[in-house]
Amino acid sequence: MKSVHLVKNLLTRNHPLHAQWFITRKCNYRCKSCNVWKTQDSNEIDIIKVKEGLDELRKLGVVDLTFTGGNPLLREDIDEILKYASKYFVTTIYDNGSMAYKKIDALKYADYVAISLDTLDKNKQNYLSGIEDSFEQKKKSIKELVKNRIPVAISSTISSLTCYDVIRMIERYGKFFSFNISLFQEDPEETQFKIGEKVRELETKDKKKMAKTFERLIQLKKSGYNILLPEKVLKIVKNYFEKDERSWECKALDNFLTIDHLGNVSGCHLKKPVTNVSELRKFWYSDKAGRIREENRKCKGCMYLCYIDYSLPFRLHTETVYAGVKSILREFTLIK
């Protein structure tokens, strides 16, 4: 069922391939770069509505689905959500590292589990997470996932405080683990998502330092280190820091979309809601949706690497998706 859905939708157009669902607004960390823990909301759509939303995404043609939050593993029904989602999508779920080792049975349904880790410096990581033993929790989660043969992606945020730490982690472990890279950024608008927090010590204002960091990432990528972002994205960001040029066009609400914990849909998490997931297909092909896409293509409001990735004119946007799809297609011996 999953294989047929993926192959069919990878070969057709005029629909999104990626959806990012902020499935909860609850979190048990106090990260410096995030404000979700300051504005938590115990309200969230129930499992029935989640499944209806997943059906809507499937019928629309979504292939790659990411669950994030808050911490999605804090939902008591996350096992049922993952089990249902895994029937149709290449499914990634994010964890700050505090819950994965407690939720192994549920995580066996995921194609990837992304654990946030920005540095191998225990004290620095605990400081960034706002939790005294966060580093040990993250290590424990990674070890348990590996032990149970569940694919792990290390999710690292590059900031002025961690750019060299991230490079050292990849140099040390990038042959064994996949790394997903993001760039620290505050969210400029107040939306229902509001995630990025302004923190002066994390700001990436030293453009030469950032360009040098991304040049090294490109070198590591070429050398076979497992960095999930395509080389083209790394080059785009390096060029941005070197020349202050944006050489891509945003495809929010075109190639990708985001959903909040109440089921509200936006092109990206920096934009206000445009519809609800239960009415997504009806909205997707409307004139209003077309006008919003045109506005989004002109937007220059962020440097989120995942959105750059999803905006590229490449049918398998991320290498995470490619890895998941390739493993599924092997069942049909379409890819050797």
Q: Tell me the residue length of the chain.
A: 336
8 CB burial (10 A radius; 0-12, 13-18, 19+): exposed
What is the average pLDDT value for the chain, to the nearest integer?
Answer: 89
- Average pLDDT of the residues in 6-32: 86
Per-residue pLDDT band for 195 (boundaries 50, 70, 90) equals confident
pLDDT at 117 over 70: yes
Q: What percent of the chain has pLDDT over 70?
A: 90
232 CB burial (10 A radius; 0-12, 13-18, 19+): middle
Separation between Cα atoms, residue 217 and residue 294, nearest integer Å: 32
Q: Residues 242, 252: contact at Cβ < 8 Å?
A: no
Q: How many Cβ atoms from other residues are within 10 Å of residue 291's Cβ? A: 10
Nearest alpha-carbon partner for 44 in 11, 69, 65, 64: 69
Q: Residues 99, 110: contact at Cβ < 8 Å?
A: no
Separation between Cα atoms, residue 252 and residue 269, nearest integer Å: 10
312: which residues sit within 8 A by CB, 6+ positions away? 230, 232, 233, 248
286: which residues sit within 8 A by CB, 6+ positions away? none
Separation between Cα atoms, residue 184 and residue 167, nearest integer Å: 15
Helix (H) or strand (E) holding 96: none
Residue with tokens 């959500």: 81
Q: Which domains does the chain have, with CATH numbers?
A: 2-332 (3.20.20.70)
pLDDT at site 9: 74
Report pTM.
0.90
How does pLDDT run across 147-170, given as a tens digit for each residue? 999 999 999 999 999 999 999 999
Q: What percent of the chain has pLDDT over 90?
A: 71
Q: Strand 256-259 vs strand 152-158: parallel, antiparallel, or unpaired?
A: unpaired
Q: What angle do CA 68, 74, 76 make, to 5 degrees?
A: 115
Which two tokens mark 66? 């990411």
Per-residue pLDDT band for 172 (boundaries 50, 70, 90) equals very high
pLDDT at site 323: 54
Distance of alpha carbon 126 from its chain centroid, rounded? 22
How does pLDDT run across 300-316, given as a tens digit for each residue? 888 899 999 999 875 44
- Average pLDDT of the residues in 225-231: 91
- Cα dihedral sign for 103, 155, 277, 321? negative
25 CB burial (10 A radius; 0-12, 13-18, 19+): buried
pLDDT at site 333: 36
How does pLDDT run across 57-88, given as a tens digit for each residue? 999 999 999 999 999 999 999 999 999 999 99
Residue with tokens 């629309």: 60
How does pLDDT run across 244-258, given as a tens digit for each residue? 888 889 999 999 999
pLDDT at 10 over 80: no
pLDDT at 330 over 90: no
